[in-house]
Amino acid sequence: MDRDTWMYGLERDSNEYIVNLKDFLKVAENNRVNKGENHIWCPCKLCQNCKMLYEVNEVEEHLIVSGFMYGYTRWSRHGELLIDRNMVDIECNDDDQTDYFEDDNNDKLDDMLHDIEDEVPDKDHLKFQQLFDDAEKPLYVGCTKFTKLSAVLKLMNLKVTHGWSDKSFTDTLETLHEMLPDDNELPVSTYQAKKLMCPMGLEIERIHACPNDCMLYRDQYADLDKCVTCGTSRYKKKNETEVNDNVKKNAPAAKVLWYFPIIPRLKRLFANTKNAKLLRWHAEDRKKDGKIRHVADSPQWRNIDYEFKEFGDEIRNIRFGLSSDGINPFGNMSTQHSTWPVLLCIYNLPPWLCMKRKYIMMSLLIQGPKQPGNDIDVYLAPLIEDMKILWNSGVDVYDAYNKECFRLRAMIFCTISDFPAYANLSGYSTKGKKACPDIRVKATASVKMNKNPPRLGPLGYRGNRPRWEKEMESGEMTKVRKISSRRARDYIFARLKRDASGALRVTPQIEPIVDALVEKQNEVTQADSEIAPGSDLLVEVLGPEHPGRLRAMGYNVGLKQSIIGIKEKNRKQEVLVLKEIKDKQEDHSTLIADMREEITMLRREMAGNRNIDVTSPVVNQTSIGSAPMVDVLDNITVATECELLLPYGMVERKCAKGQVFPCGNGILHTVPMQKDHVRVSVDKIYNGYDSFPIPVPTTDAEDLGAALYSFSQWPRHAILLTKVQQYKKRQETKRMPPIANKPTVMPKKLQDSPMIQSWYSSFTSHKYVEEFHVESEPGIFGPARIETYIRPEVILEMLNREELDINCIIWYQMVLHSIIATNGANRCAFINPQSITETECDLDDMDINNKRGNRVVNDIVDTMRYHQDKHFFLAPYWQSRHWLLIVICPYQRTGYILDSVKKSGNPLDRYKVISHVERAVATYNGTTEMSHPMKWTFTNCNQQLSNWECGYYVMKWMREFVMYRQHVFPKNLWNDKNPISGKLLDELVNTWMTTFESNYMK
C-alpha cells in the first residue's frame, strides 16, 4: 500500500493505519539515534514538523488524533534524503503543461534538489547531503516561513535585482544576523552565502578575449599578453593614455567570455529519470496526425532523418535551437552597453517545456559594452568545438530511464533571432537590395527560368494594351494579328523590341513562340485539336505556369479572366455553401421541435403530479424568485413595463422585456385568452432566447423571435413588473396582507434571546412591502447583477430559528463581499447558490441531448474565469432540504466539504453537485476529469443538534473563511465538531438583520 493511501485515505483507528504508523515511528526513532538527538519532529496537522517531541508515544498519539500534515509522503525530516522514484508519474501529453504551474509561495527547492540527487558523484555526496539539510533546516527555532537555504536565496535574489555590492550585502547579512534570534542560521558574509548555495556546481570556463573581438586567449594563445591581430593588451588599462606595454600583467581582463560547457549538462539531463523520458517525447508520445504541432512535425526534421539516417535512428540524439541577441543587464534604457547571451533550446522536449527556463541552456555569455557584431564567430568557437564532438563522434552518456549507456550525438537544428542578429550569426548581408536571402534566391531562380523577360514599364499589360492595338495594324504585325487570344498577344507584345525608327519588331528569340501560337490557333480553328479545361492557348504552347507566376497578367488582371473553368468552379462552390446553410437550418428546426416535445411532456408530468390544467404552463413556486403577481396584475389600468420569465423549470430566468396590458375582455386577436394568462408585448429579447417557443403559439409566431414587437399570451406567474407607478396610488391606503402563519405568541426558543426578541417585535409590528427586491452589485458572482426577492415570511422564519431560505444565504454573501471588496489580500470569491442547487444538477443530468448546455458547469466556469485571480471559491449547496458548504480550489484541483450532519463513510456520490464541480474545474484548467481528478476532503466541522441549523452553520463557516482562514488555507482546516452556541447563532442573525435593515427596511 503506497503512503498516500494509508496516510490520508484510511481511517486513523483502523488496523492498517496503526501498522503502517508503527513503521513510520521506527524510521523516526532510527533517525534520532543516528543523529544523536533526543527529540523527534512531529509531522501531525497541528505541529507540521515545527514542534519537537521527546517521546515516541506522544508522536503516535498526535498522529492518531490529528493525522499527518498534508503532502508529507517523503519523510525528509525523519531520515529520508532520496525521493521514491516509484511515486513519480510522468505522463507526457498536452495536459502536462498545467503540472508546471508556478506558485509564488513555493520556491520548489525540493524539486530542484531531487532533479540532481541521482547524478551526484560519490565525492560530492556529503556536500549534497549538507545542502539538503540546509534546505529543510529552519532559519531559527520556531521559524516556519524560511529555511536556511531559502532565506539565503531570497536575499541573494534581492542583491542581484537591486545591484548591491558584495560589501553592502555583507553588511546587510551582519545586521540581519543581529536582528534575528541568537540561534539563527543566517550566514554573516557574502562568501559564506555563496559557499552555502554552490557547494557543487557545473563546470564554467572564464576565457579572456581581445576587447576588439579579434581572438580568444585559449589553446595556443592562452599565455599571450597581447592580441596577435591588433596588438591590444589583454588586461585593462588604468587610463586611456597608458601604453599597451606598460599595462600591469595579471590585472583584470579587458574582456571576458563565460562558457558553460554543454556536454556535462546533457549528461546531467539524461541522468535524471524524468528528464530522460521527456527527451524521448518527440518520437514516442507525440501525436502524429499530419498537423504541425511541434518542430518534429516539420519537413526539415524528416529531411534530416532521411539524409543522416544513423543520426535519425537514435531518438535520444539532441536537436538544438540556437538563439542570441543583445541585452542590457543593468536594467536602464541606455543603449551604450550590450551583452550577448547565446542560448540553446532543446526541441526533443514537448512544446510546453522546450521554451521553459528550466530547459534552456545558456552556453555563452559575451561581455559588453560593445556588441560583437560580425565577429561573433570568434566567441562561438568553444561551443562549435563541442558541437563538432557531439556531431562527429558523440559522447557516452548514461540513460537513467532505460538504465543503459549509449552514444549521444547532437546538432544545431535552427537559429532563432531577429534580422540584424541573423546577419551576424550567418555572415549573410541583410542590407541593401534583395536583403532577404529567401527573396534573393527566388528572384535569381525566376530570372534564370524566364528566358524572355517582359518590357512593360510602370503601366503594365493593361496600360500598354491601347498602344499595342494601334501598332498591330502595321504590316510587320501580320502574324501577331492571327492570334485570337488576347492574353497570348499581350505576352508577345511585352517581349518585342523597337528598331531605330521606333517600330516594334519580332526578335529571333520570340519568333518561334509566335509561330507555335499561330499553328496551335489554326489547329483549334480547324477542329484538329482542342484546348483542355483549365487551360488556354498560351499554356498549351509554353506549358503549365510554375507557382507564383502568371504570364501576361498584371495591373489588376487575374488569371481567371483568361482561363476557362473558373466560373464553373465558383458556381459549384456556391452550391456547396448553400447546401451547408440549408442543412444547418434543418438541424435548427429539428432542435426546436425536440424542445417543444420536451416541454409538452413536462407539462403533462407536472399536471399529473399536481392535478392541474395542462393548458397553462406552471412553475413550482419557491423563494428563489418573485412571489405570484396575480393581485398586482389585476390592478393594472394602463400598459406597464415588465420582464418575462421562462414559464418552465424550478428556477426563474428572464428571457425577454416588454409590457403587460390590462386584462380587458379576455380576448386577443379574436381568440379567447387561456386560463391564468395575460396579454403582453415583446419589446426586447435577451441573448440566447430567440428560438424559445412561446407558451401559446399562433399561426404568425411560434417562438420569441417571431413574436418580437407583437402581442402574445403569457402566464401570469412568469411576469415580473419593473415599474409600478401606474397602480401605486391605489395601494397607498391598502394595508399589507398579514404575514402567512404569523404567530401571535413569541416562540419559546426565542424567549432566552433578548437580541432576537427585539428584532422579532420590531419586525412584526411594522408594515413592509409584499417582497423586498434585492439586487447584487456586479462582481460578486460574475460581471452581471443578480436579482432576487425576499418575502417578509422568509425573514420571520429566520427570526423563528427555522430553515434558512436560499435568498438569505445570497444576501449574507453580499454582506461578506462588501467587507472584503476593498481588501487587496482577498483570495476568495463566491458561487451563486441558485445556479448549483440539486434541482439544477438533476435537470443537467437528465438533459441527454445537451439542450441546456451543461448550465451548472458553465455557471461555475464563468464565475472562476471572472475571478481568475482568486484561489478559493465558496459554494453553498442546497440538497434534500439541507445546506452544506463546498470550498473549491481549482488551481490545486482540491475540494473541501463542510457538512454539519456528516456521517462516517459518507460517499462522494451522495452529493450530486460534486461531478459538476469536477467537470467545471477540468474545463477551467483545460484538462479532463480522468487525467487530473480532484481530491476531496471531508473536514471536521461543527455538527448540528437540530434539523434547522444547517443554513446558519454555512453562514458561520463562510464568515470564518473570509475573515481569517483564507490567508493560510488549507493549513488551518476546521477541526471542531462541537455544535455552534446559541449566542453565536444570535450574532449571525443580528448581523444579517442589521445590514438588511440599513438597506431595505428604513
> What pLDDT, on the 0 to 100 scale, is given for residue 259?
92
Question: Do 849 and 838 contact (CB within 8 A), yes or no?
Answer: no
SS3 for 335-361 is CCCCEEEEEEEECCCCCCCCCCHHHCE
Cis peptide before 466 (omega within 30 of 0): no
Give the rounded distance of the alpha carbon of 598 from its chain centre: 37
Q: Are residues 735 and 646 in contact, defined by beta-carbon separation less than 8 angstroms?
A: no
Question: Residue 122 to residues 119, 182, 515: CA-CA distances in angstroms?
Answer: 9, 35, 87
Is residue 920's pLDDT more than 80? yes
Q: What is the pLDDT of residue 94?
A: 39
Mean pLDDT computed over 497-518: 80
Q: Quick: pLDDT tens for 842-860.
A: 877 777 666 667 888 888 9
pLDDT at 180 over 80: yes
Q: What H or E segment, with its residue span, contains residue 605?
A: helix 566-610
pLDDT at 221 over 60: yes
Separation in Å, CA 603 to CA 613, 699, 872:
9, 21, 40
Backbone φ/ψ region at 964: left (φ over 0), alpha (ψ -120 to 50), beta: alpha
pLDDT of the residue at 676: 80
Asked if 379 and 209 touch (Cβ cutoff 8 Å), the reply is: yes
Q: What is the pLDDT of residue 337?
A: 82
Most confident of 127-131, 321-325, 793-797: 321-325
Give the ranges where 472-565 is alpha helix by DSSP (H).
478-481, 486-493, 511-525, 537-542
Instruction: Please give the pLDDT value at position 741.
Output: 43
Give the residue-averaged pLDDT of 358-366: 90
Q: Is 279 helix (H, G, I), strand (E, B) or coil?
A: coil
Per-residue pLDDT, averaged over 88-116, amounts to 44
How many residues does this entry show for the chain?
Answer: 1002
- Element spanning 171, H or E: helix 166-179
Q: Give the pLDDT of residue 743.
A: 45
Q: What's the confidence (pLDDT) of residue 372?
A: 87
pLDDT at 999: 78
Task: State the pLDDT at residue 534.
Answer: 61
What is the C-alpha separation between 656 and 688, in angstroms, rounded? 10
User: Once rounded to an integer, what is the mean pLDDT over residues 167-188?
Assistant: 89
Question: Which pLDDT value is given to residue 734?
Answer: 34
Q: Which of the four pLDDT bands, split at 50, 70 and 90, describes residue 819?
A: confident
Q: Where are the alpha helices (DSSP H) in 180-308?
A: 190-197, 262-271, 273-278, 281-284, 299-307
Higher pLDDT pick, 896 / 500:
896
Rounded-to-integer distance, Cα 466 and Cα 452, Å? 22
- Which amino acid is present at 321? G
- Strand pairing class (787-790; 772-775): antiparallel
Strand partners, 257: 207, 366
Cβ-based neighbour number of residue 793 at 10 Å:
15
Q: How many whole angstroms separate alpha carbon 790 and alpha carbon 410?
A: 72
Checking phi first, is residue 55 left (phi over 0); if not, alpha (psi -120 to 50) or beta?
beta
Q: At 235, is the pLDDT very low, low, confident or very high (cuts 50, 70, 90)? A: confident
Give the SS3 label for residue 889: strand
Task: Tell me the average pLDDT across 691-714.
Answer: 80
Decide if pLDDT at 607 tops 60: no
Query: What is the CB neighbour count within 10 angstroms for residue 907?
Result: 7
Which residue did the predictor score with more confidence, 439 or 640?
640
Most confident stretch, 153-162, 680-689, 744-753: 153-162
CA 116/CA 255 separation, integer angstroms: 33
Q: Residue 830: beta bridge partners?
A: 874
How far is CA 742 from each of CA 60, 84, 765, 797, 807, rounded to the nearest angstrom? 57, 67, 11, 10, 20
- What is the model's pLDDT at position 98? 37
The residue that leads in pLDDT, 746 or 136, is 136
pLDDT reported for residue 291:
85
One-letter identity of residue 91? E
Cis peptide before 970 (omega within 30 of 0): yes
Q: Is the pLDDT of residue 622 over 50?
A: no
SS3 of 570, please?
A: helix
β-bridge partners, 721? 642
Task: Identify which of 311, 204, 347 has the alpha carbon closest to the alpha carbon of residue 265.
Answer: 204
- Span between the terminal Cα atoms of the chain, in Å: 64
Q: Is 659 helix (H, G, I), strand (E, B) or coil?
A: strand
pLDDT of the residue at 412: 92
Residue with cell 423549470: 649
pLDDT in tens, 375-404: 888 999 999 999 999 999 999 998 888 888
Which residue matches cell numbers 519523510?
75
pLDDT at residue 570, rounded to an integer = 60
Whether 695 and 713 have beta carbons less than 8 Å apart is answered as yes
The rounded mean pLDDT for the chain is 76
Strands of the sheet containing 205-208, edge to edge, are: 205-208, 256-259, 361-366, 340-346, 318-324, 410-416
Asked if 278 and 284 touch (Cβ cutoff 8 Å), the reply is no
Mean pLDDT throughout 559-586? 61
The percentage of the chain sitting over the pLDDT mark of 90, rounded to a whole number, equals 11
- Residue 514: pLDDT band by 50, 70, 90 thresholds? confident
> Looking at 223-227, 418-422, 586-590, which range is the least confident one?
586-590
pLDDT at 91 over 80: no
d(CA 173, CA 506): 91
Quote the pLDDT of residue 316: 93
Of residues 590 and 490, the one with the higher pLDDT is 490
pLDDT of residue 625: 34
666 pLDDT band, cuts 50/70/90, is: low
- What is the average per-residue pLDDT within 211-234? 88
Compare 225 and 111 and report the one with higher pLDDT: 225
| pLDDT of 83 strictly over 60 | no
pLDDT tens per residue across span 303-355: 898 889 899 999 999 999 999 998 887 766 556 788 899 999 999 999 999 88
Residue 47 has pLDDT above 90, yes or no: no
The CA radius of gyration of the chain, in Å to the nearest whole number, is 41
Per-residue DSSP letter, 450: -
For residue 669, list its beta bridge partners.
none
β-strands 711-715, 504-505 pairing: unpaired
Residue 760 has pLDDT above 70, yes or no: no
CB 397 within 8 A of CB 266: yes
Q: What is the mean pLDDT of residues 733-742?
A: 39
Question: Grid coordinates standing for 444?
Answer: 535569381
Query: Does the CA dihedral 730-731-735-737 come out positive or negative?
Result: positive
Give the separation between CA 943 and CA 955, rounded to whole angstroms.
14
615 CB-near residues (< 8 Å, 6+ apart): 674, 675
Residue pLDDT, tens place only, 797-812:
887 778 888 888 988 8
- Segment 555-569, tens digit of pLDDT: 444 444 444 444 555
